[in-house]
Chain A
Amino acid sequence: MALRWRVAWWAAVCPAALVVGSAAGFAETAPSVLSPAGPVGAGDRIILFDATAIMLAIVVPTMLATLGFAWWFRASNTRATYRPNWTFSGQLELLVWSIPTLVIFFLGGVIWIGSHQLDPFAPLSSKVKPLEVEVIALDWKWLFIYPQQGVASINRLVVPAGTPLHLRITSATVFNDFFIPRLGSQIYAMNGMTSQLNLLADRPGTYFGLSAHFSGDGFSDMHFDAVAEPQAQFAQWVAQARAKGPVLDRAAYRGLLAQSRPAAPYTYRAVASGLFDAVAARDLPPGEGPQTGRGGVAVVPRGGT
């Protein structure tokens, strides 16, 4: 008997402890949303924990009661009282409807406040002036344009730590989803539309970023490093970027529209002004899609670069 209860207890507690423990365990190496590196991710995580705690407060007792009732009222237990006609109790019904309703009242408050405080479009409160970055999702790479610095980068987002980021995001092709797990909130990149996202990296580090919406055969390679550097090093990176590399004008941009998977990140030393807005307004053509084949399986590309 005692052993059974101990087994049941561990069976109930272990999975939860395992999930949270292991996800938090890799704090500094894995792109875990439970080890945020900025206020947005931290805010999201608090809401995640709060909502979980509110619900566990009711879920765990319910699970235990269910197991307990099932165990006690097993047919072989002669000590249990059989009540074949006990099928209704007004007080219990009231309770049964009230408990979940009250939980949802409480949770509703968390949802309402959280949705407004952590709205991705809302600017972050900070004394530092935000860095503007324009993000364009392409098949299958990310283009980051720095309008204030006049440079651009493919598949590598370098930002100053401690400075708020104001990202404007669109897609030149199919839906994608811009997400840096350790910095917090994700948002869709959609053709013909501009999403906004406000993020902040508290401390220097390299944070794994990815597309969180399936975008075709090259989707698995649509990840990038978001590198937060001290202000001085960021300025140095900008200077280096300005010094070399190709120019991103409209012709060069059209070259990016073909499906491809760049082998390594690279930068542009200059960017034509208004490029992002032209893409978002559909003044420039959308991504080209697969180049050959209309029939059966022989649709390319099959991989490659």
Chain B
Amino acid sequence: MSLLGKLSWDAIPFDQPIPLAAGLLVIVCVAAVLVWIVVKGYVPYLWKEWITSVDHKRIGVMYCALGLLMLLRGFVDAIMMRSQQALAFDAPGYLPPEHYDQIFSAHGTIMILFGAMPLVIGLMNFVVPLQLGVRDVAFPTLNSVSFWLTATGALLVNLSLVIGEFARTGWLPFPPLSELRYSPGVGVDYYLWAVQISGVGTLLTGINFVTTILKTRAPGMTYLRMPIFCWTALASCLLIIAAFPVLTATLAMLTLDRYLGFHFFTNEAGGNAMMFTNLIWAWGHPEVYILILPCFGIFSEVISTFSAKPLFGYRSMVIATLFICLVSFCVWLHHFFTMGAGGDVNAAFGIATSIIAVGTGVKMYNWMFTMYGGRIRFATPMLWSMGFLITFITGGMTGVLLAVPPADFLLHNSMFLVAHFHHVIVSGVVFGVFAGIVYWFPKAFGFRLHEGWGKATFWFALAGFYVTFVPFYVLGLLGMTRRLQHYTVPEWRPWILISAFGILILIVSILCQVMQLVVSIKHRNELRDETGDPWVGRSLEWTTPSPPPVFNFAVLPDVENTEVYVDVKQRALAEFAREPHYEPVEMPRNSPTGFVCAFFATFVGFALIWHIWWLMIAGLVGAYATFVVFAWRDVPDYVIPAEEVARIDRAARAARQGALASAAPP
């Protein structure tokens, strides 16, 4: 047993130019950024204001930054997959199978777990406490731990690019393929530990937000006065609490198989690999609702704001959300109708699956009626929402189609399926997240994003989406299965080429998105939001200045109406402007616990992947010691004196009063 376990120079892909060059490029870029930060003297600022911050707004922004970065990484994988298939008609293409298989596995893992999840959780982090009218989440330090553990997972996945390999099993590592006999390399181990470590972070987030929403709302904020986004966040976090332990246990069993010679899912000694498929989808199906429900919340907020109307059928929306939350746990078998469960079981789960569409259908109609009688402004967030309404409905339809067992017997695992889940996840989650980012960006940074570049991003994304993914439906109907590294059927080729062209349109969209950020930052003074309410919003976050002070609310708001803020505006601006009685505010102290914990967790993960046992023990001891130090702290909070609170709040009120008066309620 060597000191470095299985790690040796063989782990570096010297013989594979593509990952090596890509890895080197990434290392150079990261190093350049780090050097720039150090030289410019930004380290103390970053450490004090961001890395050790337990402010939910800062953590939310960091989550979104991580998510956007990983979205880019996942997109690079997508470019490689599309170009490989475009070249690989009756030819080997440029990516050999052992590399191509890693790319589609990494693409799925990164997009769902390290792209979409951080973006959704990031928006929840930023928005939920502001909408609830509170100063932070229930467990601020835990929140920081959650974020940094997610970052650890993302780091491990990206490390596999240069050191060793990633899983070659697909984004869900189905045994027996993922067992040691068929995947002896470290790829599956990278997957297991990256997902396990970030999964702990996600579970903690779920607990944190359920506690926050159930226990720490502003005075008068009854459940039925919460903005709909808070409801969807609650439903999503309830799903996290119920589903992520299933994932953890399932992956733990596979880990025991791989590390300690157990036989849960092996081909030998009575292992049953079907059980893995069963268990992983018991997590995997709720997981998609964990992603989509908060996005439904974002669309609800955006459509209501830009239609200048309250959400139509609020209670119906709440019921539909909880209905989806519950039923999403009763449908997982539709992922394996073709394992031969028999007519009764297949029919039962097929019907259960289509029942979910009732909840989604109700939401569709309520969004439609929210627009009815409104005064709709088509700003960028509303465009993303319109794109969603029109696109998601057909994506949902193909999903229900796949829930019909005999149709699934033709389309299971085909490109039609790939088209379906990209259809709903892109139009639902990605469009939702972008709507949310453009919508709340001024709240987070104090200036709006450039509208022109934002609209360009949207139109290219919409066109790119259709051109890329509609051909997948055709390919699925033409009998093409997913994950092919090369193929020999000539009829597939034109559609694959069209899809590759679609990727080019999506690249333009991403460039527009980057330009939007650059242009907006450059022109931030013209785009500055003085009012704190750039969109004429309808919930509590718009009563705070942009960006909100660290304590969010100088005085906790007393809430009397579903749409508190609008109500206040309508009743009397004067009342709103009357100065409240300021008191000192207690806020949680910054803490490096999350960062240090994740630092050690990274070593634990890396050591377990490479069987470096001493390093694993050292890492575990370090992480535990961090926890003990944190638990023994004497002073968890610091106090902002009343005069300071008053000073900050008066300035903000003065700036806003004039703006609000001029933008009188419609």
Contacts and interface: CB of A to CB of B under 8 A. Distances in A.
Interface of A: 15, 18-20, 22-23, 26, 29-34, 41, 43-45, 47-48, 51-52, 55-56, 58-59, 62-63, 65-67, 69-70, 73-75, 80-89, 92-93, 96-97, 99-101, 103-104, 107-108, 110-112, 114-122, 173-175, 177, 179, 181-182, 184-188, 190-193, 195-196, 208, 210-220, 223, 282, 286-290, 293-299, 302-303
Most B Cβ at <10 Å: residue of A75, A104, A173, A297:
A297
Given A208-B479, A293-B185, A219 B400 contact: no
A299 B98 contact: yes
Contacts of A290: 182, 184
Contact of B478 (A26, A121, A122, A193): A26
Given A44-B410, A111-B354, A216-B168, A121 B361 contact: no
Interface residues of B, number: 113
A305 B15 CA distance: 21
16 contacts: A19-B473, A23-B478, A29-B491, A43-B406, A84-B666, A107-B404, A119-B343, A185-B338, A192-B267, A218-B97, A282-B268, A289-B184, A290-B182, A296-B10, A296-B185, A297-B13
A120 B410 CA distance: 12
A23 B6 contact: no
A173 B176 contact: yes
Nearest to B343: A116
A66 to B, nearest CB: 5
A26 B401 CA distance: 22
A186 B412 contact: yes
A100 B479 CA distance: 31
A302 B170 CA distance: 18
Given A15-B466, A96-B313, A70 B386 contact: yes
B648 interface: no
A75 B482 CA distance: 45
Contact of A65 (B10, B368, B394): B368
B8 A295 contact: yes
Contacts of A104: 351, 354-355, 357-358
B488 interface: yes
B628 interface: no
A56 B409 contact: no
A273 to B, nearest CB: 23
A295 B11 CA distance: 7
B168 A87 contact: no
B199 to A, nearest CB: 23
A32 B479 contact: yes
B52 interface: no
Contact of A69 (B92, B336, B368): B368
Contacts of B6: 294-296
Interface in B378-395: 378, 386, 389-390, 393-394
Contacts of B364: 62, 66
A19 B466 CA distance: 12
A179 B481 contact: yes
A114 B405 contact: yes
B181 interface: yes
Please give me the 5 A-B residue pairs with the lowest Cβ-Cβ distance, nearest first.
A83-B373, A181-B479, A100-B361, A23-B477, A31-B479
Contacts of A185: 338, 406, 409-410
Given A66-B390, A80-B373, A88-B313, 16 more contacts: A15-B470, A19-B470, A19-B473, A30-B478, A33-B411, A55-B397, A66-B371, A70-B376, A89-B313, A111-B404, A111-B405, A119-B346, A196-B340, A282-B268, A295-B186, A298-B10
A170 B101 CA distance: 24
B272 interface: yes
Contacts of A44: 406-407, 409-410
Contacts of A220: 97, 484-487
A290 B13 CA distance: 19
B43 to A, nearest CB: 34
Interface stretch (B140-148, B302-310, B656-664): B302-310
A223 B488 contact: yes
Given A88-B312, A111-B350, A296-B185, A177 B413 contact: yes
Contacts of A303: 92, 96-97
B406 A114 contact: yes
A116 B347 CA distance: 8
B405 A115 contact: yes
Most B Cβ at <10 Å: residue of A58, A87, A181:
A87
Contacts of B485: 219-220
Contact of A81 (B101, B274, B373, B478): B373
Contact of A111 (B351, B368, B376): B351
B391 to A, nearest CB: 10
Contacts of A87: 309-314
Contacts of B69: none
Contacts of A177: 338, 412-413, 481
A240 B504 CA distance: 52
B338 to A, nearest CB: 5
B362 A97 contact: yes
Contacts of B336: 188
B483 interface: yes
Nearest to A215: B177
Contact of A173 (B98, B182, B411): B182
B576 interface: no
A30 B491 contact: yes
A119 B340 CA distance: 8
B341 to A, nearest CB: 9
A111 to B, nearest CB: 4
Interface in B399-447: 400-401, 403-407, 409-414
Contacts of A282: 267-268
Contact of B338 (A80, A108, A186): A186
Nearest to A25: B491
A26 B491 contact: yes
Contacts of B181: 286, 288-289
